[in-house]
Structure 1
């Protein structure tokens, strides 16, 4: 009797461990499919735009907590839908690239039909949520989705080095999505936030393209370093960082502390960028630029929310 009970317990424990591994594997696959960090980096400016709109209209979060919830769910689903459709369309490229070879579309953990269905459902559900906010927010969400899925993923990524600039539009509209559920978008603050994200994406993406040069070349993706080389790419990175310098001053209404910290961050990034023009180890420098760019955006947008608390 004891042996039977023990055997049953062992069997249940093994089944639990298998289920736990399966669940963890599914979460990992879903995170990979939706490009976890990319999703977070795109959703955060929506929250920042919303938060600053409350601040500049003297509105209370208590009045709009339900709108915030709907906005964040809707925008997250729309962005997740676009990312899923991107993975569905680019599975042939992902098979050729080291960094994407473990995505569930490549491994077969998710079927292509499942990914396509997921992308469509997420997209429709996201827009359905956003329809409960404002028409302007829906329009910006559609611009971002259409630019990323159609103009970037399907049309330009494989053909033109301008794919980076085209794709940057989709990220740039995210703070406008958050702002316009509270107030009209023709305001210097959300426009400046959109410009910051648009310009930021250029050196950020160029650094990624340098780090993954072999992958992009093998897959035949027309990224700037693949087509025009590292030297041109490094100069372009420095130029775009330089373009960020005036933007904090358009956000002077957030206070001197914000302007000073943002300017110092720009200076550090510029110095790091200029160093790259003279470094021989381009990949090491590209890694530094990538890490700094991610932290730059996170810190900058969290700082905006902090000073507007």
Structure 2
């Protein structure tokens, strides 16, 4: 599930907007990079203890380079500051991926809604979405919105640029008033925007990507549960105050992980039996109902025992 391990070098780092840096990465050995599709992201291992996920926003047909756009978050946990301050031209960085939990699905029509740096996974979708689509792109100010000139030059009046200081907040009620049954909505941006869109669009027609977790209800089970590891033959007890991932780590079992918030997909694990309490922000309702995979950094169990493909 984790994708390839790659040694990359920064070919170019330059401002893309106020507070946003554009990174162009290539393989350190000049090799071709792994293929990817719109919506994919990669993990950057900035330090051994600092791994962050960033969306690919270049051309999927170009296997020589990857492009990322990274917003500096003054109140963040250090990842964006490291990217802005340390990843200059020529600097090497370790990467893992790509992975895609925000894939573009075929539909007669697509409506894309981006808020701020949420534009990054949507940029490559536009060329792949067919002939009937629209992008509404909001941000604090025009100067803070990355890739505006590029998008308008490539797509013209299909792009609706909505800086908040010029036009106010996005009028979602009007935007969705004439949304027809054949449309799929793709949205990425701050949590307030995602929550507002989720209130207005049925789950089966909406795809969102979160950069940070939303608030969760309490777990279904307040007590212990067991996880049986089918391949290793171990059975472990997961207490209420420990995640499945941390319980495995306590037992000396290594599973790749990154965000530990249910947003990146690194720790995805197959479920062979039992009913997970899905607490991630990646699986669709149908994928949750299938109960054949889960993200063990945050998800727990509805049943007394889970059997995992580990």
Q: What TM bracket, shorter-length normalisation? A: under 0.3
Larger strand proportion of the pair = 2
The TM-score with structure 1 as length reference comes to: 0.25
Higher RCO (C-alpha under 8 Å, 6+ residues apart): 1
Between structure 1 and structure 2, the one with the greater Rg is 1
The TM-score with structure 2 as length reference comes to: 0.25
Larger helix proportion of the pair = 1
